[in-house]
Amino acid sequence: MIAMTHQINEAQTPTIDLGRDRFRANPRYEPAELGRLNEQEREMLGNLAKQQNIFGVLRAKQVGQLPSKAICRDTALLWFSLQEPGLIPEMSFSTLGPDPANAVAQLVLGGVLEIQVGDYFSSGSDALELILPKREVRSVTRVAGISERALKYAQALATTDPQLLIAKLYAYNHEPITPDLRARFSSEDAIREFLTIDRMEDLSRNWHESTVEGWRSFSSRRVQLIKPNFKLYVSPTFMDMPRAMPIVVHVFESLGVAAFKVGRNLPDVLRPDKIVAYFDTKEHLEIVAKTLTGDLKQVRAQGVPFTAQIDEFGLLSWGRDPAEVPNIPGVQQSSWRAWVVSRLAFALSLAKINPSEEVEAWEFAQRRLQLDKIDPESWTPLEGIFNASN
């Protein structure tokens, strides 16, 4: 039911043969156990440092040669076992998840391991064409175009710091805060009035309102949210918000949406993902999206990068929160976009530090998402995306 310009039904399978291909630990890294990390490395780990299975980090032997990477004990054991080139040890197969070839491909493209190609070893963006041969290019949605421009922008930045790249990618496509907007909407009450929140009887009668940093949240008084894995983004331009809000609230109420949130202050309603609704099932999300597509035809779209476009113009898109995945280092929560941009940023950092003559850094970051079960052209989360290997 969700309308897409195109959609891939399966993730591309990496061309790795674990019974034949030989690997080695990347010799440009050295391991550092949790108790021997410096302050910057501990900050990078964040909440991961509290997990029982965390080993520490792999750090570059030469500063700036490679980005530091958090590793668990199983990955550390594999890395130590491949100090001399060889096949992936059988003892590691049980720790690589349900798709060991995919897991090893991620370690190679992530620079942790190197794959032998003839007389030399390859990893990172240099190994992309070997592991994930390029597919035929197909039509691209408007939101996918915005996402590609975000990656090219991040590639052009004079930094390889993954944390800075995460922030830049996540913030891409915000509308600018002009002096006029700052003067007109300097207070939270001014935004509330602009959004017509207090003039919508359905909102005050049927929804419980609360506030958190950056957001005004609404939970239904009659529908309970059980497992909010699916997320619908409604992305009107800021000036079209007064037109969109009453329509959105009416549709949410009539079709049993349990919870949604809207930006609270001026910077929050200038971000592309300014209205976000939560769903237990993709089927319910599709029903609501179909109705909104018809009812919001006169509303201009901003577009949310790194989400899967639904309608023709990118006003509506969706993602799937990684509910079972621990927090990503450097971000506050594991939301869909935070999860995606974290992977993109670390891949960009690696490819910018060690550029390839065959593929640009932005393309490497985007295409390697296939290993995370994401369609790299439509940004659609695919079946099995958050299984045990992720």
User: What is the residue-level pLDDT of the chain in tens, covering all 390 positions?
Assistant: 444 444 444 667 888 999 999 999 999 999 999 989 988 888 888 878 888 889 999 999 988 888 889 999 999 999 999 999 999 999 999 999 889 999 999 999 999 999 999 999 999 999 999 999 887 766 689 999 999 999 999 999 999 999 999 999 999 999 999 999 999 999 999 999 999 999 998 898 999 999 998 999 999 999 999 888 899 999 999 999 999 999 999 999 999 999 999 999 999 999 999 999 999 999 999 999 999 999 999 999 999 999 999 999 999 999 998 864 443 333 334 699 999 999 999 999 999 999 999 899 999 999 999 999 999 889 999 887 876 344
CATH 3.40.50.620 for the 179-302 domain, yes or no = no
Report the C-alpha gap between 111 and 357 in whole angstroms.
17
Please say whether the beta carbons of 296 and 259 come within 8 A: no
215, β-bridge pairs: 212, 263
Q: What is the pLDDT of residue 323?
A: 60
Strand-pair partners of 207? 220
Q: Is there a contact between 123 and 115 (Cβ–Cβ < 8 Å)?
A: yes
362 token code pair: 């932005």
Q: How far is CA 334 from CA 223, 325, 340, in A?
A: 24, 7, 9
Can you tell me the distance from the alpha carbon of 255 to that of 8, in angstroms, rounded to the nearest whole number? 29
For residue 35, the one-letter residue type is G
**Positions of E strands within 110-250:** 113-117, 120-122, 207-212, 215-220, 230-234
Helix ranges (DSSP H) in 172-281:
179-184, 188-194, 201-206, 241-254, 266-270
Classify burial at 357, counting beta carbons within 10 Å of its beta carbon; exposed 0-12, middle 13-18, buried 19 or more. Answer: exposed
Contact 274, 268 (CB under 8 A): yes
pLDDT of residue 388: 39
What is the residue extent of each domain of the chain?
179-302
- Residue 269 sits at φ, ψ, to 5 deg, of -95, 0
pLDDT score at 271: 97
Burial of 324 from C-beta contacts in 10 A (0-12 / 13-18 / 19+): exposed
Asked if 382 and 9 count as a contact pair (C-beta separation under 8 A), the reply is yes
Q: Which helix (H) or strand (E) holds 218?
A: strand 215-220
Give how far the C-alpha of residue 118 lies from the chain's centroid of Cα atoms, to the nearest Å. Answer: 35
The pLDDT of residue 137 is 65
Q: Provide the token pair at 377.
A: 């052209």
Q: Is 80 exposed, middle or buried (0-12, 13-18, 19+ CB in 10 A)?
A: exposed
| Contact criterion met (CB below 8 Å) for 308 and 49 | no
pLDDT score recorded for residue 331: 32
Q: Of 171, 167, 165, nearest to 353 (Cα)?
A: 165
On whether the CB atoms of residues 12 and 370 are closer than 8 A, the answer is yes
Reading phi first (left if > 0) and then psi (alpha if -120 to 50, else beta), residue 276 is in beta
Q: How far apart are CA 208 and CA 218, in angstroms?
A: 5
